[in-house]
Amino acid sequence: MSIPRSKKIVALMSKPTKSELGKIVPEVVDWLQARGYEVITDRESSNYCKGLESMAREEIAKHSVRFVVLLGGDGTLLSAARVLARSDIPVIGVNLGSLGFLTEVTVKDLFSALETADKGKASIEERAMLDCQIERDGATVVSYDALNEIVVGKNTLSRLNSFEVNVDGVFVSNYKADGLIVSTPTGSTAYSLAAGGPILTPAVEAFLITPVSPHSLTHRPLVVRDTVEIVIVVKAAKEGAFVSFDGQLGKSILEGDVIRCRKLAHKFKLLRFKSTFFDGLHSKLKWGQR
């Protein structure tokens, strides 16, 4: 799938604490403007490029943007995905962080990547996302999207919580555990992997249900089709529990609350250039080289 030709607007998003942005952002703006692009920025980038229109990231998603240049790390990309996925705006992830599993492009390769994107020759890799609602007494309390995972965990250190899991209305199990992870294939290399879950390639049409330190040794990670609805009922959580979304947003929950997870109708679009998913496993997770 190639980048669609559209009005020449490009947006910049960045992690503001990175000192190198003072040099990189003006260079990127000059490069884009020299090729006839109108450049808009998020508020986090505005200090590095005076004179451009800046706005909240949610507002960028409402514009006819050809692509977003994201300068930061995987955490910055996760937050951008929740804003941009429903607008179908593709993203170039430029790694200014440490791991950079999702932000493929290095600073050294930034302008060659922009050249490829400008010519419409970059490929678009679509990543499935979770659409989750928390329900209390039959009413939806809050809704969030997630690119990596949702994690239902306990509020205290002393007790296990109990979670009843149903898939498409069919009872699966009661899990007594420190927590429960529902992850996408993208999130299979994140917290779920640390909890003993398998790695899924991004194109696999599945979700993972991974218990965290389960009380029963027979409770293992479970792979289900991504067309199902996963329902988690919080049980035996007298001290309360907590749900986090991509490790960035969260909500306290109570015994009896229901977490309902489905696949988001939209997919997050990530521009890819040279590397493959397995290149990432080699370089980031230190899998053996040939």
Degrees, nearest 5: CA angle 82-85-87: 125
Number of residues that make up the chain: 290
**DSSP for residue 274:** S
Residue 154's CB: how many other CB atoms inside 10 A? 18
The residue annotated as part of the active site, out of 74, 118, 246, 257, is 74
Q: Hey, what long-range contacts does 44-52 have (CB within 8 A, 24 or more apart)? A: 44/13, 44/14, 44/15, 44/16, 45/12, 45/13, 45/14, 45/16, 45/21, 45/71, 47/16, 48/14, 48/21, 48/22, 49/12, 49/25
Burial of residue 236 (number of CB atoms within 10 Å: 0-12, 13-18, 19+): middle
Q: Hey, what long-range contacts does 278-286 have (CB within 8 A, 24 or more apart)? A: 280/101, 280/104, 281/189, 281/199, 284/99, 284/100, 284/101, 285/189
Whether 246 sits among the annotated catalytic residues: the reply is no
Measured in degrees and rounded to the nearest 5, phi and psi for residue 133 equal -125, 140
Q: Which two tokens stand for residue 108?
A: 């050294």
Catalytically annotated residues: 74
